[in-house]
């Protein structure tokens, strides 16, 4: 899977937005503060699927590299769609800690994202927390390859507001 190091990492996979030039993909994720006895920061994955539900691109995965590799499969939907098939050669990393409660932002250069043709897509964001719950939210969007696009959604337990924007 990924190189074993004892750092917390955000993993970005090269894979989506075909007609995009050097622009920015921004994903804002609200990690809610939960009133629980033992709080653990969640693992969070974001990826894009086409309108039929086929995986197209990983945007990021926030997890603890090394010690936490074995729990990546707790991001069940992402794991089944893509995670179990990833190799180090398919991944470009951006080091970062898993995220504390609050609004967190991931910015990704669109030049690293290839393959989306004009059509209907869905941003998926999944969170899973040790000793806690798991949640997947979906934000549909239409991509024409040229114009800026934005979408948003909101979770109910493990995720709060999620906003997504592509600015080519």
* Distance in angstroms (rounded) separating the CA atoms of residues 107 and 133: 26
pTM here is: 0.83
> Cα 120 to the chain's mean position, in Å?
18
- 3 is written with which tokens? 């190189």
When mean pLDDT is compared across 44-48, 62-66, 86-90, 127-131, the lowest value belongs to 86-90
What local confidence, expressed as pLDDT, does residue 25 receive? 92
Going across the sheet that includes 161-167, the strands are 102-109, 24-31, 161-167, 149-154
Do residues 166 and 144 touch, judged by C-beta distance below 8 A? no
**Residue 69, helix vs strand vs coil:** helix
* Average model confidence (pLDDT) across the chain: 80
Percentage with pLDDT > 70 across the chain: 77
What local confidence, expressed as pLDDT, does residue 58 receive? 87
Highest mean pLDDT, choosing among 20-24, 49-53, 110-114: 49-53
DSSP code of residue 77: H
**Residue 121, helix vs strand vs coil:** strand
* Distance in angstroms (rounded) separating the CA atoms of residues 96 and 118: 32
């Amino acid at each position: 899977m990924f190189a074993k190091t004892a750092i917390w990492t955000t993993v970005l996979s090269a894979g989506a937005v075909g007609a995009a030039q050097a622009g920015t993909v921004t994903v804002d994720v609200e990690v809610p503060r939960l009133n629980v006895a033992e709080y653990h920061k969640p693992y969070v994955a974001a990826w894009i699927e086409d309108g039929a539900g086929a995986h197209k691109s990983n945007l990021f995965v926030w997890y603890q590299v090394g010690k936490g590799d074995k729990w990546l499969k707790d991001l069940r939907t992402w794991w089944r769609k893509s995670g179990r098939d990833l190799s180090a050669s398919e991944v470009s990393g951006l080091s970062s800690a898993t995220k504390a409660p609050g609004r967190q932002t991931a910015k990704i250069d669109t030049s690293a994202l290839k393959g989306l043709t004009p059509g209907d897509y869905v941003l998926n964001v999944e969170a899973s927390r040790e000793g806690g719950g798991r949640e997947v939210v979906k934000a549909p969007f239409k991509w024409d390859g040229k114009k800026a696009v934005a979408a948003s959604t909101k979770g109910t337990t493990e995720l709060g507001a999620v906003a997504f924007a592509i600015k080519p």
